[in-house]
Each structure stands twice: as C-alpha cells, then as structure tokens.
Amino acid sequence: MTAIDCRQGVTGVILAGGQSRRMGGVDKSLCLLRGRPLLQWLVDLASPQVQQLVINAPVSEQLAAFNLPLVPDLHPGYRGPLMGLYSAMAWCAGRSVGNASHKANNACQWLAVFACDTPFLPGDLVARLRAAAEAKAVPIAVAVTDGQVQPTASLWRTNLLPELARAINGEKLAGFQQFLRGRRWARVDWTGDQAQRFASINSPEDLARAEACLDQGEMVAMTQAEKSGRC
C-alpha cells in the first residue's frame, strides 16, 4: 500500500479525555516527555498516517493550542473510551459535538484510534491495521502485543456508527473489549521489542521509565528500523 492509499479515507482520533487518576488528576496528555507534551508526541506520530486528525477531549484553551478539531464526548461525564470513539465517529458523520461543528465527510471510511499516553506507537500502525481489515473483509482491526489486545490502537469502519449508538445508548457499554466480544475483527500482532512500542504512560513512574528508554536510544533505534515499512 502506498502512502496515499493507506491514508485515503482515514480520520485519526487521539483519545485524551481520560481521568488521569494515576497521574494525580493532572491531565496526562499535557505531561512533558523530553520537553514536549505527550499529546504532541501523538500528533507527530499520527499525522503522517491519516488524512485528518482530531482530539477527543473536553474543550480547553490548552488543547485548542494544538490547532486540531476538539471533539468532546457526546454525553456529559466520563463514560469510557468507547464514548470517545463514538463521538469522533459521529463528528465524521457531520454531527455537531460540543463546539466542533463539521460537515459530513463521505470520504471518511475509517477511524483510527490512538491513545494520548502511548507516545512510541509504530509509524506503520494504520497501514498494517488497514491491510489486515481489508484482507479479511472485516470492519475492525486491533493491535495485539504478545497476546494482549490493545483496542486503543485500532481501526474502525465508520459505518459502525449505528451499532456503536445502540451499544452505548441501549446496552450501556463503556469499553472496547465489551463491544468487540462476539464481533468479527482482525488482529495484527506485534511481538518482542516491537510490542514495547505500545507501552502506556499512566503514572509519574511510567514517565520516568520512558525518559530512561529515550536516554538509552531504544525507541529511536526502533523508529529508524521501521521507516522502510511505514505506509
């Protein structure tokens, strides 16, 4: 798949609306890693993989400074990551979400999900997810690292919006795993050292470990090694 092909029709959403409990209530998307907010790391790694990028989070001046559409949850109160996916998909369909009005984009066929606390995700994430979904003719592809499902590194067909609406509003589902149960989806495996790219930063200790990895050049070496495989 060429660079144009794999990004075509793909919108990316960075989930940044969590409660950051293990960070002491501080918005972890704005925590600094090597002097850059975690959210900026995600913007930099996700932008080359998608046609357009949005942030799922409550509207704030700090997040508005990233100059990307801010798409808050459709329903008030934190109701889990599935709500972030649903809200971004509704926005793609033209529904006004908060103050993020938008015309329906019929060319948006896929929604790629990134978590704001995973700054080392692979540069070929979307390419591999899309290739797997299209090869198996399924509407969802999810990264799996050493056997562990990583639903916040995933790709979703936007025509799933009615199903998501029923799951959230009718079944009151909140998590990705609940929604995936019983549905067809493609798994894309990352193992060994590459699985480390999906490590999340949830606490000050995690942040310190990430700094140490950068000091040792581990993530830099991985990035250079995968460039030839980037979509």
Q: In the predicted model, what is the mean pLDDT of residues 185-191?
A: 97
Q: Round the average pLDDT of the chain to a whole number and report it.
A: 87
Q: Does residue 3 have a pLDDT over 60?
A: no
Q: Which two tokens stand for residue 79?
A: 């109701």
According to the model, what pLDDT value does residue 214 have? 87
Task: Check pLDDT > 60 for residue 126.
Answer: yes
Q: Is the pLDDT of residue 20 over 70?
A: no
Take residue 77 and report the two structure tokens written for it: 């109160």
Give the model's pLDDT for residue 101. 54
Out of 3.90.550.10, 3.40.1010.10, 3.10.580.10, 3.40.640.10, select the CATH number for domain 7-229.
Answer: 3.90.550.10
pLDDT given for residue 102 in this prediction: 59
Checking if the pLDDT of 26 tops 80, the result is no
Tell me the pLDDT band of 227, cut-offs 50, 70 and 90. Answer: very low
- Checking if the pLDDT of 113 tops 70, the result is yes
Q: 100 pLDDT band (50/70/90 cuts)? A: low
Q: How confident is the model at residue 194 (pLDDT cuts 50, 70, 90)?
A: very high
| Domains of the chain by residue range | 7-229
Q: How confident is the model at residue 224, as a pLDDT?
A: 40
**Using H for helix, E for strand and C for coil, what is the string for 54-87?**
EEECCCCHHHHCCCCCECCCCCCCCCCHHHHHHH
The arithmetic mean of pLDDT across residues 189-205, rounded, is: 92
What does the alpha-carbon distance between residue 174 and residue 116 come to, in Å, rounded to a whole number? 18
DSSP state of 25: T
Please list, in sequence order, all residues whose beta carbon lies within 8 angstroms of the beta carbon of residue 1, skipping any fewer than 6 positions away: 127, 130, 131, 231
Based on the number of CB atoms within 10 Å of its own CB, is 2 exposed (0-12), middle (13-18) or buried (19 or more)? exposed
Which of these ranges, 1-5, 55-59, 200-204, has the smallest mean pLDDT?
Answer: 1-5
Asked if pLDDT for residue 89 goes beyond 80, the answer is: yes
The predicted model gives 2-26 an average pLDDT of 76
Return the CA Rg of the chain.
Answer: 17
Residue, of 81 and 2, whose pLDDT is higher: 81
Q: State the pLDDT confidence band at 76, using cuts at 50, 70 and 90.
A: confident
What pLDDT sits at residue 82?
Answer: 94
